[in-house]
Amino acid sequence: MVLKALSLLLFAAGAFVIFLAGKIEEKYRLRSKETVKGAEHFEEKEIDEMKRQKAVLRVKLYGLVFLLPGLFGILILFE
């Protein structure tokens, strides 16, 4: 019973982080920590958008780290 609850909690937390990745990036301004290779070939606006996309993707990957164990737990325990 505890493992089922933990699996559901992990899945829900991961899905929540993935769903709100854009808002999380905006709140913590994570794009300022990103770098773009070949930035001299792009305009400032394009570079900022690329940094934003990289930061959002990084947040989504962190959410996936929580979602996948929860998903596997759900698939195994609720079989």
pLDDT at 21 over 90: yes
pLDDT at 33 over 90: yes
Please state the pTM of the whole predicted model.
Answer: 0.91
**The total number of structural domains that make up the chain:** 1
As to burial, measured by CB atoms within 10 angstroms (0-12 exposed, 13-18 middle, 19+ buried), residue 55 is buried
Query: What range defines the domain where residue 23 resides?
Result: 2-77
Count of CB atoms situated within 10 Å of the CB of 36: 16
Residues 48-63 pLDDT 10s: 999 999 999 999 999 9
Mean pLDDT of the chain: 96
Given this model, what pLDDT does residue 79 score? Answer: 84
State both tokens at 38: 């070949």
Of the chain, the end-to-end C-alpha distance in Å amounts to: 14
